[in-house]
Amino acid sequence: MNIKFYSLKGALVFAMATTFALTSCNRDTEGCTDPAADNYDADADTDDGTCSYSIVAPDTYTFTDADGNSTVSYSGQHQRLNMLSEMSSYLKTANNEGTAVDADVLKNMYANEGHTWDDEEGLGMTGSSKQLKNKTVGGDSEFTDIFEAWMDEVAAASDGSGAGSAGVAGVVLSTTNPAKQYLQSAQGQEWTQLIEKGLMGACFYYNISVVYLGEDKMNADNTAPEEGEYYTEMEHHWDEGYGYFTTAVDYPASGTDRFWGKYANGREDLLQSASKISAAFRLGRAAISADNMTVRDQQIDIIRTELELAAAGTAIHYFNSAISNFADDALRNHALSEAKAFMWGLQFGANTAVDSDMVAHLLEDLGDDFYAVTTATLTEVRDELAAATGLTDLADQL
């Protein structure tokens, strides 16, 4: 009996050892599986997320070829940012009682049809093929019609406008800051803010997040410069995305005076929006020039996420401003118009934390009449937006 027992025991041990050996041979080896990485492991079967890359981003958005020629170009985006700047300046003239703006002028500016621009930088804007209208959600009439309707409304209200109040469109003066006055609708909505900040979302944000950092543009050729140019097609598309964010190569040292460059910088203290977005743009561009699409795609994710947070954080900031200035009709309505426009624009990004359905829900809760809102309503909408974008812990501070 003892002899048989030990023989059986030996057979079991042998079988277990054989099974272990076979299992070990079949087990996947984890490591970095990207050949472009510095620590690529040719024997690894499964990527363990440890890949590292030696791509270094420049301190400014400056890229050149081997001969020192600049490979950066975003002249069309520069024109469009300047077009919106001039349109916004024109709209703001209506903040003075009796100063009218013309809807046709606004629409001609929007579509760049027959309008003569000031064009102080000499960009060739007058007669240019560049325009804001056909870049608004790809020229979708559902949205371009909204902007042109606002242009009709602001022109009609500004024509001989007087003082505004609840139920009366006109210029509303701040009761706490006499230097502040704004042309607002009978419901307190400020068309200048809806148009300017709305186009920041439907035109600039949309084109950065969905179009130029999107799959179609990022599948462009990156093997050789385009004919007659110093940049590849993919490099150029990336530059165009950057140009919708800012035209300053040294952002955020400069370029913090308007549009996304301004509002990302405004969220820098709490969200580091300006530094994160600018760093990702520079590193992503360097990755494209190095033909490293893994690093490029990582930066796309960062830019999309941080732009969404900057937009949501800015809307929350203006909800807080409206609550702080609740008793002042002019300042409350002004802040709510900005909050509404930034919140409305969130639906145009590639991320979906706040999609069109969520935007519609939040706007319904906010209501159309800014004279009829309560602080409880504003806090509720603010907190719901914060929860959707992961900003709850900062909602009171933004």
Q: Worst-scoring range by mean pLDDT, 14-18, 149-153, 275-279, 349-353?
A: 14-18
- Interatomic CA distance for residues 159 and 154, integer angstroms: 9
| 237-292 pLDDT per residue, tens | 999 999 999 999 999 999 999 999 999 999 999 999 999 999 999 999 999 999 99
More confident residue, 314 or 40: 314
Which percentage of the chain shows pLDDT scores above 90? Answer: 85
Angle at 383 between CA 379 and CA 385, to 5 degrees: 120
Residue range 47-63: mean pLDDT, rounded = 90
Radius of gyration of the chain (CA): 27
Quote the pLDDT of residue 36.
67
Place of tokens 């300053």: 248
Average pLDDT of the residues in 117-134: 98
What is the spatial distance between Cα 342 and Cα 311, in angstroms, rounded to a whole number? Answer: 6
Would you say residue 23 has pLDDT above 60?
no
281: nearest Cα among 62, 49, 51:
62
| Residue 245: both structure tokens together | 């964010």
What number is the average pLDDT over the span 319-324? Answer: 98
DSSP for 160-190, written as a single string: T--B-BTTB-EEEEPSS-TT-EEEE-TTS--
pLDDT at 170: 97
Mean pLDDT of the region 42-65: 90
Average pLDDT rounded to a whole number, residues 314-342: 98
What is the structure's pLDDT at 314?
A: 98
- Residue 18: the pLDDT is 45
Instruction: Assess contact for 53 and 36: CB atoms under 8 A.
Output: yes
**How distant, in Å, are the alpha carbons of 24, 56, 130, 284 from that of 40?**
22, 18, 45, 20
The answer, yes or no, to whether the previous bond of 252 is cis (omega within 30 of 0) is yes
The yes-or-no verdict on residue 24 having pLDDT over 80 is no
Looking at residue 383, what is its pLDDT?
98
pLDDT, tens digit (0-9, with 9 covering 90-100), for 137-189: 999 999 999 999 999 999 999 997 799 999 999 999 999 999 999 999 999 99
Amino acid identity for residue 52 in this structure: S
User: How many other C-beta atoms lie within 10 A of the C-beta of residue 254?
Assistant: 12
- Alpha helix ranges (H) inside the chain: 2-26, 75-92, 103-111, 141-158, 191-199, 206, 215-218, 233-245, 259-266, 268-271, 273-289, 293-324, 329-345, 356-366, 375-388
Q: Sorting pLDDT into bands at 50, 70 and 90, what band is 227? A: very high
In the predicted structure, residue 54 carries a pLDDT above the cut 90: no
First and final C-alpha spacing in the chain: 81
Ordered by start, the domain boundaries in the chain are: 75-394
Can you give the pTM of this predicted structure?
A: 0.89
Please determine, for residue 110, whether its predicted confidence score (pLDDT) is greater than 50. Answer: yes
Tokens of 26: 């079949």
Q: How crowded is residue 235: how many other Cβ atoms within 10 Å of its Cβ?
A: 23
Give the model's pLDDT for residue 285: 98
Q: Across all residues in the chain, what is the average pLDDT?
A: 93
Residue 25 has pLDDT above 60, yes or no: no
Query: What is residue 48's predicted lDDT score, i.e. its pLDDT?
Result: 86
Separation between Cα atoms, residue 280 and residue 183, nearest integer Å: 38
pLDDT-based confidence at residue 26 (cuts at 50, 70, 90): low
Three-class secondary structure of residue 153 per DSSP: helix
pLDDT tens per residue, range 181-219? 999 999 999 999 999 999 999 999 999 999 999 999 999
Give the residue among 126, 149, 150, 146 at the shortest CA–CA distance from 136.
146
More confident residue, 207 or 8: 207
